[in-house]
Structure 1
């Protein structure tokens, strides 16, 4: 496999949406609209082009990841963070480390461009290997009912979440 990871380009959009749709076609916990979410997020003010990455095998897009801006809000303060959602790999390429590479690359870029933390709602057996911990450890909660073990946070900068707590406010693109 000749795997490369780079920033998504406008010419990639249709192929990426097809990859995302295929990646979630047989997934267990999904409403099968992740590809539509990706399209909406690209049009939102929370979209960060540098954090929408594709994985290619030769010239074929086989995976995608997107991190977008969110806020963690309590009664008095609001702290900017990122949401990791979604990460997608074509079914025939899953379990080959491509998702890992997309996640690691996106987290490094996020840190490099100045973001301090990331929130994910995902598999509690998968994301901890990247350093994600229960968000409740930081007194950060989801704006909807989710299992505590599946709602996780990661500090990209040490102690970045020490004085942060509250409810995650997602882009309106997630709410449609």
Structure 2
């Protein structure tokens, strides 16, 4: 399994993957809009041995109470049904964590499955005083520091890019 940054040739395969994994086209449309508006911080793909895109994870900037601490929002993440439960998602998250830390992005938030993302090191954001802007279960909104100390003294409500308003 090869995990690498998105290339222009991956845009349509990513779009197809997102449309196949999610119930609606909202996530695929979100990624296109974020990409078009220059709000892509990191987009990784996982490719099988034939070079087919079978996984994707996307990060875009978020603010904390209107302040930019270079934190990122993870959304969406998708893995082809034939490749789920094989560690593809966790491998993409580990690669993203290393890359984002190296590039100076100290933390990320995710609104997702509370039984999955803790396996990758995410923890309930509310425990750190970091709140979700959406009406969601507390345990579903999580944060992870990619750089030691990134969460210290940081509290408030996360603000996603305006493109998320269409979800």
TM-score (normalizing by structure 1): 0.88
CA RMSD, Structure 1 to Structure 2 (Å):
1.4
The residue aligned with 2:45 is 54
Displacement of 1:158 in angstroms is 1.5
Deviations 1:108-132 (A, max 9, x none): 1111101111000011111112211
Cα distance in 1 for partners of 2:11, 2:5 equals: 11
The residue aligned with 2:63 is 71
The residue aligned with 2:77 is 87
Q: Which runs of 5+ in 1 are unaligned?
A: 26-30
Equivalent pair of 2:18/2:25 in contact (CA under 8 Å)? no
Deviations 1:19-77 (A, max 9, x none): 1111224xxxxx541111111111224212xx101111121111111111111116xx5
TM-score (normalizing by structure 2): 0.93
The residue aligned with 2:26 is 33
Q: Counterpart of 2:78 in 1: which secondary structure?
A: strand
In the alignment, structure 1 residue 175 sits paired with structure 2 residue 165 = yes
Given the alignment, which residue of 144, 160, 165 partners 2:155?
A: 165
Moved over 3 A (4+): none
Equivalent pair of 1:62/1:89 in contact (CA under 8 Å)? yes
Q: Which runs of 5+ in 2 are unaligned?
A: none
Cα distance in 2 for partners of 1:174, 1:159 equals: 28
Q: Counterpart of 2:62 in 1: which secondary structure?
A: strand
The residue aligned with 1:14 is 12
